[in-house]
Amino acid sequence: MSALPNQDANPQIRRRRFTCHSSANLGNVLRTAVGVLLLLAMRAPSLSAQGLDPSALVHPQASDTWPTYNGDYSGKRFSPLDQINASNVNSLTLAWIYRTHGQAIKATSLEVNGILYFTVPDNIYAIDARFGQPIWHFERKVAGDHIGHRGVAMYKDRLYFTTSDAHLLCLTAKDGKVVWDIVLADDKLGYFATMAPIVVKDHIIAGVSGDSTDIRGVLTSVDPDTGKVQWHWYTEPDPGQPGSETWPNTDALLHGGGMTWMTGTYDPELNLLYWGTGNPNPVLVGDSREGDNLYTCSIVAINPDTGKLQWAFQPSPHDIHDWDAVQTPILLDEVYKGKQRRLLAQASRNGFYFLLDRTTGEHLATSQFIDQTWASGVDAKGRPIARPEATPTSDGALVEPGSDGATNWMAPSFDPQTGLFYVMARRIISVFYRTVEGKVEGWGGRDRNLYMDSTLRALDYRTGEIVWNHELGEGEDTAGILTTAGHLLFTADHLGNLLALDPKTGKTVWHLNVGEHVVASLMTYQIFGRQYIIVPVGDTMYAFSLPEKTETTKK
């Protein structure tokens, strides 16, 4: 199989349909054609209907699809699949691989109707989910930050893709043709976009990225058919609005940062969208922005129909360590102190675990899930209280964790079978320096890591108490977590080992070294009666499954 480029009217955009051709002889051509027809026949159900029923997003994740970034709206990254389970995981074998021959894959794939859709910056790939064969490839080369990309969203027969120059594109799922292209934010001001949008009813909601952008972070909702903007929500309120009093002046307020890097979660019954926001600017220096600096480093609840803020909780008031709160806010419907509650849980970059009532934003529990030296305790609102000696200085302040965070973008997971919340945690000891005096814009300091190691931790969701700990050794782990009904937890370490752990105890039940650091999150689906585990490693997508004759005894 090889690609024949098809130039669009825009020379920056290429869509590739994959066809077979051969220059050897007619016999080879015919044999190839027959093989392709057989392949298409075997996967006909997947190619005949490339649309996504929007109702699939509302219900708990089905076994044959992974329709949104976290699998479903809750953010749990728990799959009901159990064909691959604790009794047979040692029989896992490689089903197929697909190479992009490009940048490392940091995206979580979508799987809909037998097709995988995944991204790297400037690129979308559609491949067959059963055989790993290419279907189409979209490329749009632009200037901008290419730090990574998390994936696409899907609504009916269309895909939605954010870009390195802060655009939002709508494409047809059938062939990757652009339907519309809008600007989310001005890339000349330092904005770019890396996140996977989320579909909520008739809204496509996308955030923006920016490492040292002295402007406001924003969420934008657009019409899925036309791209018309429905609303904007800014992470810093307008002057005079609630929250603006937490900034010293209008200049600081309107240049306060707070990017909306990662995909949020959603409760259809409450009709509330939950999102984590980024750190304030200037970064690492806070004397020009005294106050809590709302709504940066916050978990917010927003009405998706109006863009109006319903409530907010701030894990890191007046952040001066680059500890954004964009980590996934996981939605739990569990018992808390004897009562069934609608809960929201986050393991935040600052090293603390937070449990909230997601209806009202009421704080329920705060605890540290990893070593930290920057906070002396917790205030009446459940927020950590910063130690003055942790402030970056020209001589340096020794602080744990470093700016990379006690956790970061790597996906956490919640397993309803064990009642445990899982987080990839890191011990990072760093020296924070202030490097700029006077008026500061962008970065006002830097930190230097002295030591780091990683551990996977299971927490009691009610208290944040550590139930078990799986040490991963010296180094910085960046893999996300997937749990399944097969009594398995899948992740990877920084040495290139794929791991399957017992989610009750943290003990390793299977591992395989793939020789490269994993910087994405795993996902799973089942088609044609076979479950697949998808693992992005570098520029390669690996699919693992059981041999077709393996007995799938459930444990």
Residue 60 banded pLDDT, cuts 50, 70, 90: low
Q: 186 pLDDT band (50/70/90 cuts)?
A: very high
- 157 in active site: no
- CATH code assigned at 293: 2.140.10.10
State the pLDDT at residue 215.
Answer: 86
CA nearest to 352, candidates 389, 313, 391 = 313
Task: Please state the rounded mean pLDDT for residues 445-473.
Answer: 97
Question: Does residue 226 share a domain with residue 118?
Answer: yes
Mean local confidence (pLDDT), 426-434 = 98
What does the pLDDT look like over 198-225, one tens digit per residue? Answer: 999 999 999 999 877 778 999 999 999 9
| Sheet (strand 158-162) strand order | 153-155, 158-162, 167-172, 178-183
Q: Quote the pLDDT of residue 249.
A: 96
**38 and 48 both lie in a single domain:** no
pLDDT band at 29 (very low <50, low <70, confident <90, very high): very low
Say if CB 257 and CB 243 are below 8 A apart.
Answer: no
Take residue 309 and report the two structure tokens written for it: 């803020």
Q: Is residue 489 part of a domain?
A: yes
pLDDT of 64 reads: 82
Q: Are 50 and 173 in contact (CB under 8 A)?
A: yes
Residue 379: its pLDDT value, please? 97
Same domain, 19 and 82: no
- In this structure, what token pair is assigned to residue 97? 């691989």
Residue-number span of the structural domain to which 162 is assigned: 43-545
The answer on pLDDT for 58 being more than 90 is: no
Categorize the per-residue pLDDT at 400 as very low, low, confident or very high, splitting at 50, 70 and 90.
Answer: very high
Q: Are residues 27 and 47 in the same domain?
A: no
- Whether pTM > 0.95 for this model: the answer is no
Mean pLDDT for 157-178 is: 97
pLDDT tens digits along 281-298: 999 999 999 999 999 999
Percent of the chain predicted with pLDDT > 70: 89
Q: What is the pLDDT of residue 62?
A: 67
Please state the rounded mean pLDDT for residues 415-444: 95
Degrees (nearest 5) of the Cα angle 535, 538, 541? 35
SS3 annotation, 381-438: CCCEEECHHHCCECCCEEECCCCCCCCCCCCCEEECCCCEEEEEEEEEEEEEEECCCC
Confidence of residue 17 (pLDDT cuts 50, 70, 90): very low
Question: How far, in Å, CA of 499 to CA of 488, rounded?
Answer: 10
Would the pLDDT of 28 be above 70?
no
Look up residue 352 and give its two tokens: 């603390």
Same domain, 176 and 90: yes
Residue 5's beta-bridge partner residues?
16
100 and 170: one domain?
yes
Least confident among 19-33, 47-61, 167-181? 19-33
Peptide bond into 295 cis (omega under 30): yes
Say whether pLDDT at 32 is over 80.
Answer: no
Is 284 within a domain?
yes
> Rounded to an integer, what distance in angstroms lies between the CA atom of residue 471 and that of residue 88?
24
Q: Which residues contact 90 (CB under 8 A, 6 or more apart)?
A: 509, 510
For the segment 299-324, the average pLDDT, to the nearest whole number, is: 98
Same domain, 30 and 79: no
Q: Which residue has the tokens 């004897």?
A: 338
Backbone angles phi, psi at 33, to 5 degrees: -60, -45
What pLDDT is attached to residue 44?
40
Confidence band (pLDDT; 50, 70, 90) for 241? Answer: very high
CA distance 6 to 320: 49
The C-alpha atoms of residue 169 and residue 142 are separated, in whole angstroms, by 13
Of 73-77, 308-312, 550-554, the range with the lowest mean pLDDT is: 550-554
Same domain, 383 and 331: yes
Q: What pLDDT is recorded for position 426?
A: 97
Q: Residue 235 in 3-state DSSP?
A: coil
- Comparing 15 with 483, the larger pLDDT belongs to 483
**What integer pLDDT is reported at residue 110 of this predicted model?**
97
Token pair of 27 as six digits: 């016999």
Residue 550 domain flag: no
Q: Do residues 68 and 33 share a domain?
A: no
Please check whether residue 551 lies inside any domain of the structure.
no
- Answer whether residue 76 shows pLDDT above 90: yes
pLDDT of residue 515: 86
Confirm whether 338 is domain-assigned. yes
d(CA 509, CA 206): 38
* Claim to verify: residue 224 and residue 267 sit in the same structural domain: yes
Q: What is the C-alpha to C-alpha distance for residues 355 and 332, in angstroms, rounded to an integer?
A: 10
Whether residues 378 and 432 share a domain: the answer is yes
For position 2, what pLDDT does the model report? 32
As for how many domains the chain has, the answer is 2
Residue-level pLDDT at 53: 82
Is 473 in the same domain as 371? yes
Is residue 552, in this structure, part of any structural domain at all?
no
Is there a domain that residue 360 lies in? Answer: yes
**Averaged confidence pLDDT in the chain:** 90
Cβ neighbors of 46 (< 8 A, separation 6 or more) are 113, 114, 115, 128, 129, 130, 527
Q: In the predicted model, is pLDDT for residue 40 greater than 60?
A: no
- Say if 553 falls within a structural domain: no
pLDDT at 272 over 60: yes
- Residue 327's closest CA among 400, 425, 255, 222? 425
Pairing of strands 482-484, 78-79: parallel
pLDDT of residue 441: 86
Proportion of the chain above pLDDT 90, given as a percent: 83
**Annotated catalytic residue, options 322, 324, 415, 477:** 322
